[in-house]
Amino acid sequence: MDTSECGVRRRGKRAWESAEDFPLLFDWEQVYAWRTHTYEEAVTPEKIQNPVKKRENKQLDRAGKRDDSLRCIDLFAGAGGLSEGLSEAGFHSLFAVEVVPTYAKTYEFNHRGAQVTTADIRTLDAEEIRKRLGLERGELDLIAGGPPCQGFSINAPVRSVLDHRNHLFKEYLRFVDAFQPRCILIENVPGLVSFESGKTLHAILDSLAELGYGADVRILGAAYYGVPQMRWRTVIIGTRGKELPPETFPDPICHAPIEPNFTSTFDGHSLLKIPTAEKSSKFTTVKDAIGDLPPLHNGEHGVAVKAYPMPPQCDFQKRARRGSTGIHNHEAPRLSDINVKRMAYIRPGGNWTDIPEDLLPKGMRQARKSDHTKRYGRVLPDGLASTILTKCDPHWGAYIHYDQDRSFTVREAARIQSFPDHYIFLGSMAEQFAQVGNAVPPMLGKAIGISIKSVLTEV
**Tens digits of per-residue pLDDT, 209-243?**
999 999 999 999 999 999 999 999 999 999 999 88
Just list the catalytic residues.
149
CA nearest 79: which of 332, 388, 384, 290? Answer: 388
Q: Which residues of the chain have pLDDT under 70?
A: 1-68, 148-166, 459
- Read off the pTM: 0.82
Q: What is the reported pLDDT for 164?
A: 58
Q: What is the reported pLDDT for 160?
A: 55
CA nearest 229: which of 84, 76, 390, 389? Answer: 389
Quickly count: other Cβ atoms within 10 Å of residue 17's Cβ: 14
The CB-side HSE value for 349 (13 A sphere, CA atoms) comes to 4
Burial class of residue 33, CB neighbours in 10 A (0-12, 13-18, 19+): middle
Q: What is the reported pLDDT for 108?
A: 97
Domains identified in the chain and CATH numbers: 3-279+442-456 (3.40.50.150)
Q: What is the reported pLDDT for 198?
A: 85
